[in-house]
Amino acid sequence: MVGRSAEAEPLIKASQAIRKKAFEQHAGVMGFDYDAVQYAVTLDNLADHYRIMGRLEEAERFGKESLVVSRLTFDRYPLLVVINHSTHLNTLGHIYLVQGRYAEAAAICEQMLAIDKRYCFNILFPARYRISLNNLAVVYEHLGRLKEAQALHLRAVAIARKKRNKHPDKYANSLRVLATNYELTQRYAEAEPLIKEVLAIYEQTFGPHHSYYAAVLNDLSSIYALTGRYAAAEAASAQGNAIWLNLLRSTLPGLSEREKQQFLATVSRDTERYHSLLAQQAATAVEGTARAYDQVLFTKGLLLATTTGLERRLRASEDTTVIRSFKHWQTLKRQLATAYTLPLAQQQKRGLDPVRLDSLANELERSLTAGSADFAASRVCPRQPNSRCNGPYNPAK
């Protein structure tokens, strides 16, 4: 989740400005190498921030600049600079991947892998080398180079397997991306045991109510569906969906508006897959369809409850400071909604800055959440058929 990235931006920019000034002042004198390294790091931070915020043109510009500065010391400084340079490459590679520029992303990932080999990172830092292998494999998959990607995934799994007892989650992640590759190449019989192994590791490591566990349940559901086992697919997807809904109920009331949107976007991929499965077997999935309908109502009810409950409790508190803050928060939300419907030129003409408005609205909402006992008391989930408010929601019951 983006969280409070909008609020972090001025801090990142301030840090970047300080490092830039030192870099420019000390060029050609002792201390320049250190300033170049630190300036490159702040540029990379800014690039990654803009990537997270979806401002990809700005992200690319700062990502490229971080590499230019980093190269100034790349060949004549300690290993730390090489590691930092590889990190800067990774940031730019992610930006290209999000932009759909897969050939350029592949070139970046190949360059990272070459650095890893040149400096023996595969021996010194095997975990980092494993990530480089996986990153390149994912890009190759986007380019349709599935066999090459599979070979890279297998190497990554072999590295992760050596540390599986110490880092079971990283081993499971490598297995999961390999299983995805097998699914893409229609090797379902090989993908299924890997996904089940990941599921067992995640259950032991994170517990059966974690979002990671829910996501892998939906991976398993996909394999079942692709092999014609629709009843098993529906059951696995329903179980994963139930976990997401429990997380939704416990998490949503305390999130800002931006965070609510992002959380729901994360959940929607798996719920849409669940509904797609039901559509494929609509004639026989009467119970599942009814359950899905209940879940949609539950989600809508929860969204409504978090908004109306907030308003009702705060107005009833008779705390004029809180009520005034709440009205300001509502105004900011309306302005933000208006800003998002306008092109950039119109935003500027009307004096609407979405980043600033979002930051102010998020901060106000957090302040209201933390400072109002009435709002804390309003965190009550809506009633859902076949569930109890005081216990975990399980639509499969």
Q: Over its length of 397 residues, how does the chain's per-residue pLDDT go in tens digits?
A: 344 555 677 888 888 888 888 877 766 555 457 778 888 888 888 888 887 766 778 888 888 888 888 877 765 556 667 788 888 888 888 888 888 889 999 999 998 898 888 888 888 888 889 988 988 999 999 999 999 999 999 999 999 999 888 899 999 999 999 999 999 899 999 999 999 999 999 999 989 888 889 889 989 988 998 898 888 888 888 888 788 777 766 655 555 555 555 555 555 555 555 555 555 554 444 455 455 545 554 444 444 445 555 566 656 666 777 777 777 777 777 777 677 667 777 777 788 887 777 777 777 766 666 665 554 444 333 333 333 333 333 333 3
Residues 6+ apart with CB under 8 A from 239: 214, 217, 396
Let me know how long the chain is: 397
pTM above 0.75, yes or no: no
Question: Rounded to 5 degrees, what angle do the CA atoms 189, 190, 194 make?
Answer: 120
At what angle are helices 257-280 and 230-251 packed, to 10 degrees?
Answer: 160
Residues 6+ apart with CB under 8 A from 164: 171
Q: What is the pLDDT of residue 281?
A: 54
Residue in the block written with tokens 């400084």: 77
Q: What is the pLDDT of residue 88?
A: 86
| Cβ-based burial of 370 (10 A; exposed 0-12, middle 13-18, buried ≥19) | exposed
Alpha helix stretches (DSSP H) within the chain: 5-25, 32-53, 56-71, 79-99, 102-118, 121-124, 126-142, 146-162, 168-184, 188-206, 211-226, 230-251, 257-280, 286-316, 320-340, 344-350, 354-371, 373-377
